[in-house]
Amino acid sequence: MARPPAPRGTRAATLTDVARLAGVSVATASKALNGRNHVSAVTRERVMEAAAQLSFSPNSLARGLLAGRTGTVGLLTSDLVGRFSLPILMGAEDAFGAGEMSVFLCDARGDAIRERHHVQALLSRRVDGLIVVGSSTDPRPPLAAAVDVPVVYAYAPSEHPEDLSIVPDNVGAGRMAVEHLIACGRTRIAHISGDRGYSAARDRVTGALAALEDAGLALVGDVAYGTWEEGWGRAAASMLLDREPEVDAILCGSDQVARGVLDTLRERGRRVPEDVAVMGFDDWQVMTTGARPQLTSVDMNLEELGRTAARALFEAIDAEHGRGVRTVQCRVVVRGSTAPEA
C-alpha cells in the first residue's frame, strides 16, 4: 500500500515556506490562498501549486489569534453515559461540522467542580460559544463562572430565565401520545409513568391528562409513578390488570417500562394490540424494534434538538443572543403495539 510518509519532527509547512517556494511575499501568498483579489491569476496559480506541493495547511491558532475568533465551541455534558446526551451531541456536531466549526467535548460527570474546571479550560481556549447539555429535563443552575461568550442550554434548561434554553416539549409529547391512542379507538387508557422526581414524567402526565379531558375521557386508575425500568413496568402492569381489568391502552413512561408491560400482558394472555394497546416514550430503537410486537413510541427528536441548539448558538455568536426557553416538538412513531401491521 502506498501510504504517504509521516515525517515526524519535520514541522509543518508555514506560509513563509509557501511564499518562498512560489517566489512571492507572504502577504501575496496569503491573499492568493484566501481568494482575495489584487493578485494576478498566474501568481495565484503559482502559490496554489507551491501550497499543494508542501501540503500546506494554515495554522488555525495564528489565524484565531488574529481574528479574535477561533471557530471552536465547547460542548459540555453533565452525563455522557446517559442515553439522551448522545443524540443531542450528534445533532450539534452535525450542525457545526457543516459550518466549519470544531467541537470541544467535555464531560463533567455530574460534578460541579469538574464542570467549572472544564469551563475555565474552554474559555482559555477561547471558544466562540458553549452548549451545556443536561442529563434530565429538570432545570439546572447556570454556569458558575463569568462567561463572556454565548451559552445555550440544551435538554436541561437553565434556572435563570434570561438564559437561552432548548428543551423537548414533554407536555406536547404526553398530549400527542394520548391523541394517538384515542385515534386508534381506545377509550380506557391507563398511564404507567416513570420516576415522579423528574419533570419529564410530570410534564407528560400534564399533557396526557389535558388530551383526555379534551376528548371527554378520564384516565383509567391513577397515574402510576415508579422508576424508568423494566421491572417497574412488569409490576405496575400486574397491579393495573388486577384493579382495572377493562383497560384497553397503556401509555408508559419509557420504552423500558413498556417492555416490562408487554411481558406482563403476554403472560396474562392479553393480546397486543388487539386487547390492549401499548405505547412507550423515547423511541429507543433497540427497545422498540426488538419488542413483540414492535413498540409504538414518542421520539423526542433529540438530534434535532442538538441541531437547534447549535444553530441558536451560531446566531448568538454573530448576531443577537436569544433569551428564554424554546421547545422542540416530539413525534409519535407508530409500530405494531398500537396499530396492527397493514
Query: Quick one: what does residue 15 bind among its own copies, DNA, none, with the CB cut-off 5 to 8 Å set by partner type?
Result: DNA
Beta-bridge partners for 134: none
Binds 256, which of its own copies, DNA, none (CB < 5 to 8 A, cut-off by type)? its own copies
Task: Cell 420504552: give the residue.
Answer: 255
Residues 34-53 that bind DNA (CB under 7 A): 34, 36-43
**Residue 55 binding DNA, by CB under 7 A:** no
Q: Which does 93 bind (CB under 5 to 8 A by kind): its own copies, DNA, none?
A: its own copies
Cell of 150: 454565548
Q: Which of 61, 178, 195 is nearest to 125 (CA)?
A: 61
CB of 101 to DNA, least distance (A): 16
The overall longest dimension of the chain from CA atoms, in Å, is 88
Pairwise CA distance, residues 283 & 288, whole Å: 6
Give me the least distance between CB of 337 and its own copies, in Å please. 15
**Helix/strand/coil for 250:** strand
Q: Which range of residues in 64-72, 187-195, 200-208, 283-291 is near DNA by CB under 7 A?
A: 64-72
- Side by side, the strands of the sheet bearing 277-281 are 189-192, 249-252, 277-281, 296-299, 331-333
* Using rule CB under 7 A, residue 199 touches DNA: no
Given DNA, its own copies, none, residue 230, with its beta carbon under 5 to 8 Å by kind, binds its own copies
Between 59 and 289, CB nearer to DNA: 59
Q: Of 203 and 303, which CB lies nearer to its own copies in the complex structure?
A: 303
Rounded to a whole number of angstroms, the minimum distance from the CB of residue 310 to DNA is 24
DSSP string computed for 142-153:
PPSS---S-EEE
Cell numbers representing residue 159 in the block = 434556572
The residue type found at 156 is: A
List the single partner that 118 binds among DNA, its own copies, none, CB under 5 to 8 Å by kind: its own copies
Size, binding site for DNA by CB under 7 A: 31
Q: Report d(CA 163, CA 146) in Å as an integer.
A: 13
Three-class secondary structure of residue 62 per DSSP: helix
**Residue environment code for 27-47, b if the CB has 16+ CB neighbours within 10 A, otherwise e:** ebbbbbbeeeeebeeebbebb
Q: Which does 43 bind (CB under 5 to 8 A by kind): DNA, its own copies, none?
A: DNA
- 67 sits near DNA (criterion: CB under 7 A): yes
Nearest residue (CB) to its own copies, 16 versus 102: 102
Q: Which is nearer to its own copies, 65 or 239 (CB)?
A: 65
C-alpha cell at 148: 463572556
Say how far apart CA 77 and CA 156 lie, in whole Å.
10
* Residue 67 vs 183, nearer CB to its own copies: 67
CB 131 within 8 A of CB 158: no
**2 binding partner (options its own copies, DNA, none; Cβ < 5 to 8 Å by kind):** none
Give min distance, CB of 6 to DNA, in A: 18
Binding site for DNA (CB under 7 A): 11, 14-16, 23-28, 30-31, 33-34, 36-43, 56, 58-59, 62-63, 65-68
